[in-house]
């Protein structure tokens, strides 16, 4: 039995490499369009060179400004995982910097999603290892705990369950439930095809905007 405030659970089953490869080829915006456009993080931004991210969520909930549970969570990470850290949005102390990010990359973690602060952004910004965070401070973390591993968390307004599939690109980060991922991928591929047709019509000067007036009239008279 874990002491209060120190719950730790085994990591969930991982998404297949084929699923992750398919997700890396699709823009997060296309995936989001097929999840009612209300999913995904807000307020977090990328601190790395552009690179698509996809992996299985290992989650951490920690006291703001304290990273002991994050260090512990590395023992739960496998190649192909994304470490998702709920730091309560606290920005007064950095939860990690270049050393911890480098270690995460060395063990096969596919990216970090941090609702809290980081540091060493000069170094992180020169690499393509995905790091998303809420903000920056030079002030280092405490290492006192408590913290919880593989529990439901909230990052950037997005609830993440252990085992959710985490995707990210320049537009932000999205969590997809494993039971939904095949349908989301299929829908995103169809959306991508429609957008390709629209872009071609723009290039050829035949883009149809007739719907705008129709929709305006409907809203004004509705």
Q: What is the pLDDT of residues 87-116, one digit of tens each?
A: 999 999 999 999 999 999 999 999 999 999
Find out whether 189 is annotated in a ligand binding site.
no
CA-CA distance, 165 to 174, in Å (whole number)? 8
Helix (H, G, I), strand (E, B) or coil at 78: coil
Find out whether 99 is annotated in a ligand binding site.
yes
User: Is the per-residue pLDDT at 33 higher than 90?
Assistant: yes
CA-CA distance, 174 to 160, in Å (whole number)? 9
CA-CA distance, 14 to 35, in Å (whole number)? 21
E strand or H helix at 38, and its extent?
none
| Beta carbons of 153 and 60 less than 8 angstroms apart | yes
Number of separate helices (H) and strands (E) present in the chain: 7, 11
Find out whether 119 is annotated in a ligand binding site.
yes
Residue 93 backbone phi and psi in degrees, to 5: -135, 140
CA-CA distance, 28 to 64, in Å (whole number)? 28
In the chain the domains, ranked by start, together with CATH numbers, are 17-187 (3.50.30.40)
**Tell me, what's the pLDDT at 104?**
98
- Residues in CB range of 28: below 8 A, 6 or more apart: 40, 167, 168, 169, 171, 172, 173, 174
Mean per-residue pLDDT, 16-34: 97
CA-CA distance, 111 to 126, in Å (whole number)? 15
**Tell me, what's the pLDDT at 1?**
60
**Tell me, what's the pLDDT at 38?**
82
* pTM for this entry: 0.94
Mean per-residue pLDDT, 39-47: 95
pLDDT top residue among 9 and 222 = 9
Helix (H, G, I), strand (E, B) or coil at 71: helix
What is the DSSP secondary structure assignment for residue 142, as one 8-state letter?
B
User: Is the per-residue pLDDT at 4 higher than 90?
Assistant: no
End-to-end CA distance of the chain: 58
Q: How far is CA 47 from the centre of its chain?
A: 13
CA-CA distance, 36 to 91, in Å (whole number)? 31
Find out whether 222 is annotated in a ligand binding site.
no
């Amino acid at each position: 039995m874990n002491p209060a405030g120190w719950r730790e659970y085994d990591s969930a089953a991982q998404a297949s490499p084929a699923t992750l490869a398919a997700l890396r080829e699709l823009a997060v915006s296309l995936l989001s369009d097929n999840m009612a456009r209300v999913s995904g993080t807000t307020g977090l931004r990328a601190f790395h060179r552009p690179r698509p991210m996809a992996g299985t969520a290992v989650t951490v909930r920690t006291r703001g400004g304290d990273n002991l549970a994050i260090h512990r969570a590395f023992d739960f990470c496998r190649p192909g995982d994304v470490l998702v850290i709920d730091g309560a949005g606290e920005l007064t102390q950095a939860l990690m910097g270049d050393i911890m990010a480098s270690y995460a990359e060395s063990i096969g973690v596919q990216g970090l999603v941090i609702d809290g602060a980081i540091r060493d952004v000069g170094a992180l910004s020169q690499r393509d290892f995905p790091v998303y965070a809420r903000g920056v401070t030079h002030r280092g973390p405490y290492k006192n705990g408590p913290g919880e591993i593989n529990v439901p968390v909230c990052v950037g307004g997005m609830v993440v369950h252990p085992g959710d599939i985490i995707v990210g690109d320049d537009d932000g980060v999205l969590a997809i439930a494993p039971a939904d991922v095949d349908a989301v991928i299929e829908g995103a591929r169809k959306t991508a095809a429609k957008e390709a047709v629209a872009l071609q019509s723009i290039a050829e000067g035949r883009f149809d905007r007739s719907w705008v007036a129709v929709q305006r009239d409907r809203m004004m008279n509705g």
